[in-house]
Amino acid sequence: MNIAPVTAAIMLDELIRNCQKNLPAVNVELIKKAFDFSAVAHENDTRASNEPYFTHPYAVANILATEIPFDDISVSCALLHDIVEDNMEYSIDTIKKNFGDDIALIVDGLTKIQQLFQGADINQAENYRKLLMSVSKDIRVIVVKFADRLHNMRTIDFLNPEKRKRIAKETLEIYAPLAHRFGLGKLKWELEDLAFKELNKQGYEDIKKKISAKRPEREKYIDKFSEPIIQKINEYGIKFEISGRPKHLYSIYRKMIKRNKPFEEIYDLFAVRIILDTDDVNQCYTAFGIINQVFIPVPDRFKDYIAIPKTNNYQSIHTTVVGPDGELVEVQIRTRKMHDIAEKGVAAHWRYKEGNPTIDQTMNSYVSWIREMIESSGTEDVRKNILENFKLNLYSDEIYVFTPNGDLRRLPLKSTPVDFAFDIHSKIGFHCIGAKVNKKIVPLDTQLHSGDQVEIIISKNQHPNRNWLKFVITHKAKTEVRKWLNKEDDDLAKAGKELWEKKIKKLKLSFTQQDIAKVYLNLKFDNSKQLYKAIAQGKINLDEILSSHLPDKEEEKKSPQVNAEFENFAQYARSSGGKLVVNGESSDLLFSYSKCCNPIPGDQVVGFITKGEGIKIHRKNCKSMLQLSEKESEKIISVEWPALENSNFIVGLSLKGEDQPGLLSEIAHQVVTFQNTNIKSINIDTKNSKFEGTVTLFVQNLEHLSRVIDRLKKIKGVYTVTRLENYVQ
């Protein structure tokens, strides 16, 4: 749907005015170009609300010009963010050509995030990892995405219920915690409340109604509380603003659930915020002192986030005092700048960046954890746990502990010495054997508290054990311990598998995957890896397990399949060389092959003249030939196989084992690359994961043959190689 030119002009004008009001430097031409480009690209699109689609990127751009003011590049990206995703005619290259590399990179990141979340959430952890990756390239990717998500949540009413639920859940689980991590306090609140309204309308409306019912009473109380404070602070000539602190609905709801208490008990805790109009941090402490003079502070409720900011750079003094009528009042004290950072986090820092070299490190602190998380999320198993760890780490409160040198480390609540050790360095984590907290030796699963001094005792021979996973809290410790345990398991299983394979090869057994499954299930293992691990650890006796699998040799010999296989080969071998030679001449006489010794080319043979069956070919050493009477011996004639090229002879080999990828070509490769060996045919039958096959080939002599057999036996998955022979004799 198109937008009328007059309307468009007004819209552009408003956006540029917003940018100029809130952003440090504005490239008006750039914004105008992105505006026009987006309007044209979306001219045929409509939103679910039936408005022209362009109203969406435009609204997102305005959010970035006013609510999360960032920069003109972000505003332009907001205008362009849905073009590549929605429109086949536009590619990232088009964006690059028109707007340059920076903008193209951000738009590309945004497009990828969009695509990631369009599917179901099966691979959510992996998607999440990709999201983090694109964010770590340019922080503006996530900032524009936040604005996009905020507008989508504000206009969610037009979507179908299923989609609404999915988007709201995703917002609550991923975008709100992320916003928190980037210090975007205000945005996080709004996202959470919008999602809460969507997912639990009843709960949302209930709390909302109760809050407004209590408002007059609260405002009256806050006034009563503030009056003496205002008077006192004014005496010091400090400019400030004091207000009742609004709590957002979802945080009240969460507290009700967490503490299992009704609304009244949660909400009756009054909260006040004092914002000082000064850059002098010391005035915060002055104000804090003044409040303590007016009201009695509650011990242990003082938190100084100015001296030790939260991981997302939040700063404030928190204290709780006993107000009029004995009510507890939570008070937050901060400067205007700290307030700005509490609400706008990364966006506020971005704006303070100019002319302040120390802020770059702060900017970096918003993304460095992302890089760490990506780097540590190598294996599949670890990836699966990213989301879980992420949520755990972001919602939890922090504690502050000290190294023996007095360095401060921030850790999530309930962290243990092992978390601390990994926080210092992976190597310290891997080898930590004990810990001293405040100079006393403590168990490794001891929960640390703010102010603790922690010292780690290490030993070269100590390694992580599975038990640690039960108490470590931080993402880093969990990931590193899992990685270590996985590697240890993999190494053991690999060694065990080798032992197993050698053994069954030696015993000429072959196992299908199903056979192996039977073995480990019998032994109460969940998978073959556990079986192999137990073998490597010597926990099970291989001989004992395999004894029941040893074949009955007699049965094997009489197996009709082997005979049929041999029969096929024998026929093939006999026909491959041309006519038999009788008394030195190629002959057309009728031949048949005796079943008692089943001669094949290569065997020394004789002919025996029969009645009606022509000449029967026997091996020269066939028992029936050796036992002939003198008279019968006269019926023997000299017979030879036709001469083969290079005086080679033909052999059939029977192969058995476990099917492996590329097995056939490996067999062919091993035989063909061997000196003067010619393959006539290869037949492989696979059933389940088992294979049986025959190889027909020419060899020069028995020694040559035995070398070929040795080569074949070395192929992975080949368990037995036997020469096809007459088993009847």
- C-alpha closest to that of 11 among 37, 35, 44, 38: 35
Q: How far is the CB of 482 from Mn ion (least distance, A)?
A: 36
Looking at 105-113, 129-137, 143-151, 661-669, which segment touches Mn ion (CB under 5 A)?
143-151
- CB nearer Mn ion, residue 39 or residue 306: 39
Nearer to Mn ion, 56 or 533 (CB): 56
Nearest residue to the partner Mn ion, using Cβ: 148
Q: Which two tokens stand for residue 63?
A: 């959010």
Catalytic residue, from 45, 85, 327, 490: name it.
85
Closer of 49 and 583 to Mn ion (Cβ): 49
Beta bridge partners of 276: 240, 335
Q: 86 catalytic, yes or no?
A: yes
- The residue count for binding Mn ion (CB under 5 A) is 2
**Which amino acid appears at position 358 of this protein?**
T
Smallest gap from residue 222 Cβ to Mn ion (A): 39
Q: Interaction with Mn ion in 24-83: which residues (CB under 5 A)? A: 82
DSSP state of 411: E
Phi and psi at residue 337, to the nearest 5°: -65, -45
Contact between residue 125 and residue 174 where contact means Cβ atoms under 8 Å apart: no
397 classed as catalytic? no
Q: Is the dihedral angle over the CA atoms 258, 261, 264, 266 positive or is it negative?
A: negative
Q: Which of 410, 388, 386 is nearest to 400 (CA)?
A: 410
DSSP 646: G
Q: Are 453 and 468 a contacting pair, CB within 8 Å?
A: no
Cβ(698)–Cβ(534) below 8 Å? no
Out of 148, 198, 659, 692, which residue is the one contacting Mn ion (CB under 5 A)?
A: 148
For Mn ion, the closer CB: 112 or 616:
112
Contact 667, 654 (CB under 8 A): no
* Closer of 81 and 482 to Mn ion (Cβ): 81
Per annotation, catalytic residue among 13, 14, 29, 86: 86
Residues 6+ positions from 145 with CB-CB distance below 8 Å = 110, 113, 175
Helix/strand/coil (H, E, C) string of 232-290? HHHHCCCCEEEEECCCCHHHHHHHHHHHCCCHHHHHCCEEEEEEECCCCCHHHHHHHHH
CA distances from 128 to 106, 115, 192, 390, 681 (A): 17, 12, 19, 10, 52
Residues counted in the chain: 729
Q: Shortest Cβ distance from residue 59 to Mn ion (Å)?
A: 9
Collapse the DSSP code of 459 into the 3-class scheme (helix H, G, I; strand E, B; otherwise coil) and give the result: coil
Instruction: Bin 688: left if φ > 0, else alpha if -120 < ψ < 50, else beta.
Output: left
Judge contact between 698 and 648, C-beta under 8 A. yes
> Minimal distance in Å, beta carbon 250 to Mn ion?
23
CB of 109 to Mn ion, least distance (A): 13
Binding mask 80-119 for Mn ion (x = CB under 5 A): --x-------------------------------------
Does 692 participate in binding Mn ion (rule CB under 5 A)?
A: no
Name the minimum Å distance from CB 82 to Mn ion.
5
- Minimum distance from CB of 56 to Mn ion (Å)? 6
- Smallest distance from Mn ion to CB 114, Å: 7
For Mn ion, the binding residues (CB under 5 A) are: 82, 148
Residues taking part in catalysis = 85-86
